[in-house]
Amino acid sequence: MRAKLPPPEGPGPRGPLLRVSLLRHLYVQVLIAALLGVAVGALWPAFGAALEPLGQAFVKLVRLIINPLVFCTLVLGMSGMHGAAAGRIGGRALVYFEVMSTFALLVGLAVALIVRPGAGFEVLPGMLDAGAVAPYAEANAPHTLVGFLLDIIPQTLLSAFTGGDIVQVLFVSLLTGVALSQMGARGEPVIRALRRVEQLVFSFAGLLLRAAPLGAFGAMAFVIGRFGLRAVENLGLLILTLYITELVFVLVVLGSVARLCGFSILKLLRYIKDELLIVLGTSSAETAIPTLMPKLERAGAPKAVVGLVVPGGYAFNADGTNIYLTLAILFICQATGTQLTFGQLATVLIVAMLTSKGAGGITGSSFVALISTLTVVHEVPLAGAALILGVDRFLSEARSVTNVIGNAVATLAVAKWEGVLDQEALAACLERAHPHSVPQPA
């Protein structure tokens, strides 16, 4: 008989293969890169701060494809739909957005009044560096409702795609989709061409997302190298309060919406973990759009609903930003000893509801929304924003991740409300929850 060979020493082939398999997953690569960025920023601050272009370059690359992606997805989704159906979906989406935005503002306000993260600072407004926030105040005039509505209409058809305003792209896409649906068979050549363009855009997205770990590494190294961990220590209570509040909002408020729609918020978070880690690393909610939209389609939401709700949510449904706005404003009031009456608090809520529009995607836009709010609410010292300017980047990660989760839940909720959510596809995706490759359009 042939002698039996002894078992090989070491962990065997399964251990190394498992490690290699894990490293192929995008979320693992992004997580490792972000941790390395934190280490580099902490050990070599100057070098870490110099890596900012890596993060900026990745975000700019992703923005290249957002407008054509939104346009193709929404137009193709609406091509076989009547204009009345699109109007109904849009109307329901807007109702949902305003309800959840109001909830988010109230949650931020309540937590600020209970925790009082700014109490004990005892900072006089004259002690603050007003010049630090002056550029933000000068470059951004206060929002008005009429001005916001007029800005939705682009100067020309093509300027919507070059101006960087996703709301204008949404507006042009809606008009194009309605026009195509009215053309009938004559619009079929255009629809076929758009399908090819959409496939090209998704292929482009697959190439760009390979650079996500590099972008996360550069962004995290810059944040830690530029601002340091000491900034976190000085305003630790504010940062901790925001992170915990955002987490509670996701698990309780959005979790309740998810439960009503027949799915688990925790399973949804696992399903979109790639997008959440990329957003956490780059501090930009926009970087999630290229893969979030097709994932939601695979999870049972029709293309028209995804194409309308996701980009619309980035403009009108910034849950994380709304929590940040009321929390930051009350923090400034508490730190400077500013007392607000009930009527003034109501004014803060109304103004913040308006200034938060369009501030859910781009890095730093939420701080601009804060400045815009303070320029209208004169009772709160504008210079108080300088207190949180140095740590705003740390706050940005929490609000950006919440914005993405809120828009994912909104898409599924509107689809459920519309009666077009494929529950079987949703359950299959959430149970499997391993969509590590870039989804391709149907």
Residue carrying the six token digits 């509801």: 353
Rounded mean pLDDT, 300-329: 87
pTM, entire model? 0.77
Q: How far apart, in whole angstroms, are the C-alpha atoms of residue 286 and residue 17?
A: 34
Model confidence at 5, pLDDT cuts 50, 70, 90, reads: very low
Q: Look at residue 205 and tell me if it is in a domain.
A: no
pLDDT single digits (tens) 279-306: 888 777 888 888 898 999 999 999 888 8
Q: Look at residue 11 and tell me if it is in a domain.
A: no
Backbone angles phi, psi at 171, to 5 degrees: -65, -50
What is the DSSP annotation of 333-351? HHHHT----HHHHHHHHHH
Task: Say yes or no to pLDDT of 6 above 50.
Answer: no
Supply 9's token pair.
Answer: 């020493």
Q: Look at residue 442 and tell me if it is in a domain.
A: no
Measured at the CA of 41, the angle between CA 38 and CA 42, to 5 degrees, comes to 85
Q: Look at residue 114 and tell me if it is in a domain.
A: yes
> Picking from 71-85, 119-133, 145-159, 403-417, which range would have the lowest pLDDT averaged per residue?
119-133
Q: Are 249 and 402 in contact (CB under 8 A)?
A: yes
Rounded mean pLDDT, 202-220: 82
Q: Look at residue 417 and tell me if it is in a domain.
A: yes
Supply 72's token pair.
Answer: 């193709």
CATH assignment at residue 390: 1.10.3860.10
Q: How far apart, in whole angstroms, are the C-alpha atoms of residue 226 and residue 231?
A: 10
Q: Look at residue 418 and tell me if it is in a domain.
A: yes
Buried b (16+ CB within 10 A) or exposed e, 146-157: eeeeeeeebeee
Q: Look at residue 57 and tell me if it is in a domain.
A: no
Q: Look at residue 180 and tell me if it is in a domain.
A: no
Predicted local confidence at residue 82, as pLDDT = 63
State the number of CA atoms in the 13 A half-sphere of 313 facing the CB. 34
pLDDT single digits (tens) 344-395: 888 888 888 877 775 555 556 777 778 778 877 778 887 777 778 767 777 8
Predicted local confidence at residue 132, as pLDDT = 56
Measured at the CA of 91, the angle between CA 88 and CA 92, to 5 degrees, comes to 85
Domain boundaries, position 422? 80-175+228-432
Name the domain count of the chain. Answer: 1
Q: How far apart, in whole angstroms, are the C-alpha atoms of residue 97 and residue 319?
A: 9
Measuring CA to CA, how many Å separate 248 from each of 314, 323, 401, 430?
Answer: 21, 11, 13, 21
Task: Say yes or no to pLDDT of 246 above 90.
Answer: yes
Backbone angles phi, psi at 121, to 5 degrees: -70, -40
